[in-house]
Amino acid sequence: MDLIATGLGHAYDGLTVLDDISLTVASGEIVALLGPSGCGKSTLLRMLGGLERPATGRVEMRGAPPAASLNPLTYVFQDFALVPWRTVAGNVALPLEHHRLGADERARRVAEALARVGLSDFAGAYPRQLSGGMKQRTAIARAFAVEPAVLLMDEPLSALDAQTRDLLIEDLVRLWTETRFTAVYVTHNVAEAVRLGHRVVVLSRRPGRIRAIVEIAEPLDRRREGSPALGAAREQIWDLVRGEAAAADREMVHG
């Protein structure tokens, strides 16, 4: 299923934050959204997911979702959003409880989702017992349990340390290689965007407009640190972002 945005614009109290955003996310690709702070990345993600209505333009889904999909659009957030009094398995099962599933089917989905992220042995643990990486793996498992047509990820790794972030990136690449999921991935990290995105959409500072869409030609599962192709893409994107980020920083401090 493709996710299509046409002419999206939005404003808060008369301040325009996004202007004329048109974008297609094709089935089976990861599109990274990158831009300076305050450019409207998270607002755009909320509009793509239907949590916020755009002032102008429209969002539509084209094609059929996967046969096993319970939620066409599912979020993974930066702060994990786990329920502290539920176990890992209980958190993963939470979105399934809103659907008419038998106990066996619910248990199967939870078990498969936990196996995908390597948490089968921690099904009975509580969030307070988990590291940051394990908490985010739980959140990712919860998203995969409903077999979403499109996964919407809002800076999911930004709260983690560098080593854990690298491990989670490897996990996401492996999961994509196994399942070819579709995702929109918001990040402020150029290296992260280049490592995970089939395409990187670079937004300007507020009001956010698309400055460029950079396609990463190297296959996702073959990308390695030090790759000339990734290095060239990082340099190209940083050239686009550098001045915008500095200007946005001055606006946030003095504006």
Domain 2-65+150-254 listed as CATH 1.10.3720.10: no
Place of tokens 């002419």: 7
Backbone angles phi, psi at 39, to 5 degrees: -85, -5
* pLDDT higher than threshold 90 for residue 53: yes
Its pTM surpasses 0.95? no
Is 254 a residue whose pLDDT tops 60?
A: no
Q: Cα–Cα distance between 180 and 67 in angstroms, integer?
A: 14
* Domain residue extents for the chain: 2-65+150-254, 83-148
State the burial class of residue 170 (Cβ atoms within 10 Å of its Cβ: 0-12, 13-18, 19+): exposed
Q: Give residue-wise pLDDT tens across range 57-87.
A: 999 999 988 888 999 999 998 888 999 999 9
For the segment 175-232, what is each residue's pLDDT rounded down to a tens digit? 999 999 999 999 999 999 999 999 999 999 889 999 999 999 899 988 887 788 889 9
User: What pLDDT is attached to residue 72?
Assistant: 92
CA distance linking residue 98 with residue 139, whole number of Å = 17
The per-residue pLDDT for 247 is 66
